[in-house]
Amino acid sequence: MAKNSEITQLKSQLRGGILKSPYLFFGEESFLIDLYTKKIAELVPDMGFPEFNAITIDGADSSLEEVTRALEGFPMMAERKLVVITDTGAFRARAAEELRQFYIRISEIVTDDTVLIIRERDVDKRSAVYKAFKKNGTAIEFKRLSDTDLTAWIVRETGRLGHKITKQNAELMISLCDKSLQSLSGEIAKMTSYTDGEITENVINNLASRSLEARVFDLCDALTSKNSDDALRILEELKANKESPYAILYLLYSSFEKLLRTKLMMPGTSNAEIASAIGVPPFSVKKYTDGAKAFPMRKITGVLKAVPQLDLSIKQGIIPQWGAVEKLVFSICSERK
């Protein structure tokens, strides 16, 4: 997430009705960008004339002349107007110099009767245009929240909806679902509509839309449990869902790298220490310790060596992407039988 001081300052300003335009919002966490765009919009009412006072522009499909007209137009029956521009492209590393200079100038001349929000996906913080917005207005990067912050957010959001969830079950939700706030918000809404009181472990396991990372974790769990049928079934489901073979290879590599680190720490290391060292929730550690016991060291290191080799074979056209994933899983299954 953005630095706590930046978020705290933004919250404080908006609570006091203070606007520090122009705004540049960017980063992975679109839920927070939407949230703060909405909070700012609430401070700039359109007074029934949204076409004049609440202007939304797709930067990729609009000319600089259209942007200029939107910014130079007067508010209608209001003190201020809001202009939100999405994906200008001016903040990318290879943006055209003319485009960058246009938005640098915009950052310097935005008038008091205009509140400007620019929402970007890619921002080069070394660029002059980023530095101009940082100097002349407010520039905030909204990163994904840490697991600790996500846990606290889930507990708060569930409580806001009149339901309960324990910290442990919030951690379980994080381990199974996509970690974006937009996705987790939808998961919480779905689960609170299913139950009248508490979101329990059973509710989460039955209703959660499992992320690719969670499904690959299930695949690794099946492999370490000697359940080849489950492993191959999960692999077929991933293929049917058109998941990225490269992403699956990377996640398999990551899981086996955690298995290696776990094996090297055993015995004599507590589950809490292992969880902290490999970056997983405490309740997930047992699967890693079981897997570390089940796989000999040579097999774990063999998988870690095989993934880069398969990656190279894909790039050289020797083997198709899904063929590489299947070859890796079949090789693990064949030794586990």
What's the CA gap between 67 and 56, in Å, rounded?
10
Distant-in-sequence, close-in-space partners of 68: CB < 8 Å, separation ≥ 6: none
Look up residue 243 and give its amino acid.
E
What's the CA gap between 207 and 315, in Å, rounded?
38
DSSP assignment, residue 139? E
Say whether the peptide bond before residue 308 is cis (omega within 30 degrees of 0): no
The whole-model pTM stands at 0.79
Cα 38 to chain centroid distance, Å, stands at 20
Q: Are 157 and 185 in contact (CB under 8 A)?
A: yes
Q: Retrieve residue 173's tokens.
A: 């939700």
- pLDDT for 124 equals 96
Long-range contacts of 327-335 (CB under 8 A, 24+ apart): 328/249, 328/252, 328/303, 329/219, 329/223, 329/231, 329/232, 329/235, 329/252, 331/306, 332/223, 332/231, 332/299, 332/303, 333/223, 333/228, 333/231, 333/232, 335/299
Look up residue 72 and give its amino acid.
E
The neighbouring-strand residues paired with 82 are 54, 115
Which residue, 286, 287, 181, is CA-closest to 227?
287
- pLDDT for 3 equals 54
Helix axes 245-265, 285-294, angle to 10 degrees: 80
Q: Which domains does the chain have, with CATH numbers?
A: 4-141 (3.40.50.300), 147-207 (1.10.8.60), 212-336 (1.20.272.10)
Q: Burial, 123: exposed, middle or buried (Cβ in 10 Å; 0-12, 13-18, 19+)? A: buried
- pLDDT for 4 equals 63
Beta strands in the chain (DSSP E): 23-26, 54-58, 81-86, 114-120, 138-141
Distant-in-sequence, close-in-space partners of 154: CB < 8 Å, separation ≥ 6: 165, 170, 173, 174, 184, 188
Q: Are 266 and 292 in contact (CB under 8 A)?
A: yes
Which residue, 154, 201, 156, is CA-closest to 181?
154
The angle subtended at Cα 209 by Cα 294 and Cα 292, nearest 5°, is: 10
How would you write the pLDDT of the chain (337 residues) with one tens digit per residue? 455 688 889 999 999 999 999 999 999 999 999 999 999 999 999 999 999 999 999 998 999 999 999 999 999 999 999 999 999 999 999 999 999 999 999 999 999 999 999 999 999 999 999 999 999 999 999 999 988 899 999 999 999 999 999 999 999 999 999 999 999 999 999 999 998 899 999 999 999 999 998 999 899 888 877 788 899 999 999 999 999 999 999 999 999 999 999 999 998 899 889 989 998 888 888 888 988 888 889 989 999 999 999 999 999 999 999 999 999 998 888 765 4
- pLDDT for 337 equals 47
Q: Burial, 190: exposed, middle or buried (Cβ in 10 Å; 0-12, 13-18, 19+)? A: middle
Buried/exposed 152-176: b ≥16 CB within 10 Å, e otherwise: ebbbebbeeeebebeeebbbbbbbb
- pLDDT for 281 equals 82
Look up residue 252 and give its amino acid.
L
